[in-house]
């Protein structure tokens, strides 16, 4: 296997989605879309330490645009090299049937409340709802979009309201306290499409410097 330089996905060199010859080397891509990204600015990918890492608001993060995973990220930081109280990251995306089914397969959490309409209709909720930890996973994804390399140390969560299948959710993570040794306390919450909080809590994270080629 080889790695798609544009998105970080492994590609079968015998059956790639697309290929490009550049400076005497063949680059393999998982799709025409990744090929087009590469062709638009090949030097960016060829010269970067980790070319597949994604920039958000012009700041490189540890995120990979893996397989075209959906989600809209926004970063609001004063100094990308020195996080401070008030710095914030958000992630917005829709969570529907496909996400619920994939989560059930990966975790083996096949609770009928999340997967079967007839069963869920007879519960206190009256309809299927999303797995709480699936929705909370948006918090982890948002934290990984902060500058540097985020290490999750702890998380307290309160599930405030049920999360409807097919709604759009926004995870909002705001640094509220700078602790010792590159650690930060973060306010974390997830809001539904109406702006109502469905999950809230606090996390503690450690933020290391981004690895370089001499550290890998």
Query: For residues 199 and 163, what is the distance between their CA atoms, to the nearest angstrom?
Result: 9
Looking at residue 216, the DSSP 8-state letter turns out to be -
Whether 209 has a pLDDT exceeding 70, the answer reads yes
Compute CA distances 40 → 35, 45, 211, whole Å: 9, 10, 26
* Cβ partners under 8 Å of residue 169, min gap 6: 92, 93, 94, 95, 135, 138, 163, 190, 191, 192, 193, 198
Whether 212 has a pLDDT exceeding 80, the answer reads no
* Cβ partners under 8 Å of residue 40, min gap 6: none
Question: Which residue from 26, 30, 27 is spatially nearest to 12, judged by alpha carbons?
Answer: 30
Query: For residues 80 and 148, what is the distance between their CA atoms, to the nearest angstrom?
Result: 8
Each residue of 139-175: pLDDT tens digit? 999 999 999 999 999 999 999 999 999 999 999 999 9
User: What percent of the chain clears pLDDT 90, i.e. is strictly above it?
Assistant: 76
Averaged pLDDT of the chain: 93
pLDDT of residue 214: 52
Q: Which domains does the chain have, with CATH numbers?
A: 1-52 (2.30.170), 68-208 (3.10.129.10)
Whether 216 has a pLDDT exceeding 60, the answer reads no
Each residue of 93-120: pLDDT tens digit? 999 999 999 999 999 999 999 999 999 9
Query: For residues 74 and 84, what is the distance between their CA atoms, to the nearest angstrom?
Result: 16
Alpha-carbon torsion angle 45, 46, 51, 56, nearest 10: -40
pLDDT of residue 68: 72
């Amino acid at each position: 296997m080889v790695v798609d330089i544009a998105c970080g996905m492994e590609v079968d060199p015998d059956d790639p989605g697309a290929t490009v010859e550049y400076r005497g080397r063949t680059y393999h891509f998982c799709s025409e879309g990744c090929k087009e990204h590469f062709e638009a600015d090949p030097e960016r990918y060829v010269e970067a330490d980790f070319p597949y890492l994604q920039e958000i608001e012009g700041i490189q993060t540890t995120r990979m645009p893996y397989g075209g995973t959906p989600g809209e990220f926004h970063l609001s930081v004063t100094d990308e090299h020195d996080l401070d109280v008030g710095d914030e990251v958000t992630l917005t995306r829709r969570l529907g049937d496909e996400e619920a089914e994939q989560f059930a397969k990966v975790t083996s959490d096949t609770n009928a409340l999340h997967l079967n309409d007839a069963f869920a209709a007879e519960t206190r909720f009256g309809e299927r709802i999303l797995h709480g930890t699936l929705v909370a996973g948006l918090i982890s994804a948002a934290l990984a979009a902060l500058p540097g390399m985020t290490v999750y140390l702890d998380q307290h969560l309160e599930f405030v309201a049920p999360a409807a299948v097919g709604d759009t959710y926004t995870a909002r993570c705001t640094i509220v306290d700078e602790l010792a040794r590159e650690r930060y306390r973060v306010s974390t919450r997830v809001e539904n499409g109406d702006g109502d909080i469905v999950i809230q809590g606090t996390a503690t994270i450690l933020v290391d410097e981004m690895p370089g080629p001499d550290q890998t």
